[in-house]
Amino acid sequence: MNATAKGGEPAFVIVTGMSGAGRSTAAKALEDLGWFVIDNLPPGMLFSLAEEVGRAKLAADKVAAVVDVRSLAFTSDLNVAIEELEGRGVGVRVVFLEAGDEELVRRFENVRRPHPLQGEGRLVDGIARERGILRDVRANADLVIDTSSLNVHELRHKIVAFFGGEDRPGLRINVVSFGYKYGMPVDADLVIDCRFLPNPHWVPELRPMNGLDAPVRDYVLNQPGAKQFLDAYEEVLGIVAAGYSREGKGYATLAVGCTGGKHRSVAMAEQLAGRLRDRQMEVQVSHRDVGRE
């Protein structure tokens, strides 16, 4: 990642998010990539860290701080710290790790630890309290990663994909196919609905296949409106990507959905990813719900 603010100023990354969503895994992955990472840093010490980075002559675009919510003044402290840093010419990029309530409960129960904010209440009370405190931080984050369906190895892979190519400039796009019946990806910046196309599920010979198989791909792409939709949305994405880059957004998640996330969304996601690569964009593709039925 080339973590620079608009105008070329040095910047560093803040990793935050829900407790149990994988902050420690993300931090370890960054360390393995050669980043200098400070864990559990209070927001009020971010500026001191930036000053120390300058004194130590560390590469500012490979420094990260992991910040959690245990401070009751977390949101205000973090916002003040970011404003102070940016006022001194240091750009900040915020990475937010998210997960669903049920998955967070399962993770805490597996390790038999209380949530840091549950106090005398229930585990779900702590999660709800933390989610409320972090609402604005999540809304303003530069990158949101939903780890609900990821194991530690898959999360590490995502971190490496986002931050391992620091010499590659420009916007990085994660294209993910999904099925609406399993819920929309919570980290999506843009959502495309492919349910206007006929469903290969109702074609007996295509039903066992998925959108990566040539017969399904050809069936989907030959439907009326499919090519026109791809042409139009490619142009839209070009405009959006240019705007994101101007605003300093380094990452975007494009979610492509159909009913089950097996046929139409997979084929269309692959096509859009290929078109974006042809525009010299850095793209990674994943198919969240293939094999889930």
> Which residues lie closer than 8 Å to 82 by C-beta, 6 or more apart?
14, 46, 92, 94
pLDDT on residue 1: 39
Asked if the model's pLDDT at residue 167 lies above 60, the reply is: no
> Which residues lie closer than 8 Å to 232 by C-beta, 6 or more apart?
none
pLDDT on residue 207: 95
pLDDT on residue 71: 64
Digit-coded pLDDT (tens) for 35-53: 888 888 888 788 777 777 6
Give me the phi and psi of 63, to 5 degrees please. Answer: -125, 135
Q: Could you tell me the domains of the chain?
A: 12-164 (3.40.50.300), 172-287 (no CATH)
Q: What is the 3-state secondary structure (H, E, C) of 178-214?
A: EEHHHCCCCCCCEEEECCCCCCHHHCCCCCCCCCCCH
Closest to 18 (Cα-Cα) out of 121, 102, 79: 102
Average pLDDT, the chain: 85
Digit-coded pLDDT (tens) for 134-145: 888 898 888 899
Digit-coded pLDDT (tens) for 210-267: 999 999 999 999 999 999 999 999 999 999 988 887 776 778 899 999 999 999 999 9
| Predicted TM-score (pTM) of this structure | 0.65
The strands making up 251-258's β-sheet, listed across from edge to edge, are 190-193, 251-258, 172-179, 282-287
Instruction: Answer for the pair 179, 261: CB distance below 8 angstroms, yes or no.
Output: yes
How far apart (Å, rounded) are the C-alpha atoms in residues 13 and 11?
Answer: 7
- Give the distance between the most distant pair of CA atoms in the chain: 66
Pick out the residues of the known binding site for GTP. 68-71
Pick out the residues of the known binding site. 17-24, 68-71
The residue to which tokens 């990663």 are assigned: 145
Digit-coded pLDDT (tens) for 150-166: 888 889 888 888 887 55
Percent of the chain with pLDDT over 70: 90
Pick out the residues of the known binding site for ATP. 17-24
Give the three-state DSSP class for 70.
coil
